[in-house]
Every structure is written in structure tokens, then in C-alpha cells.
Amino acid sequence: MRPLSGALRQLANVFILLIPAFIASGLITGLINLLTQSDVSGDIARHYPNVLWLLALFGSTVFAIIKIMVG
């Protein structure tokens, strides 16, 4: 195996472990977008703003700490 190929494989192995976190973050963000649409969910966004805020926090945490997770 060539040295460059081995280095790229190690780099890819780091990001393979992060794929589930990216998927979960995208699903949470999509759920937030659905819940904020009044024609889809009614008044949920108005009645439970703290829940939506907490979901938004969970959805964006992956991208806030991505440097730590890659390191």
C-alpha cells in the first residue's frame, strides 16, 4: 500500500465515524423546520418555543464541536 493511500484511509476513517452524527443533526434540523410551519404542525412553535430551541441546540451541536470530534 502506498503512503498517500494509507494517510487518506486514516482521514476517511475519522469521518466515517461522524456520519451518524451528521445524519442525526440533519434529521433534527428537518424536524424543526416542519414544526415551525404553521400549516403542518399548527401552533406547536408558539406553544413550545423552549422545546424548539432545545432541538435547535441539539441539531447545531455537531457543527459547533466538529473540530473536537475530528481531532
- pLDDT score for 62: 86
* pTM assigned to the model: 0.71
Q: Using CA atoms, how far apart are residues 70 and 5, in angstroms rounded to an integer?
A: 19
Chain-centroid distance, C-alpha 25: 2
Low-confidence residues in the chain, pLDDT < 50: none
Handedness of CA 24, 26, 27, 33 (dihedral sign): positive
Determine the pLDDT at residue 27: 93
CA distances from residue 22 to 5, 18, 65 in whole angstroms, order as listed: 25, 6, 12
Q: What span, in angstroms and rounded, lies between the C-alpha atoms of 58 and 62?
A: 8
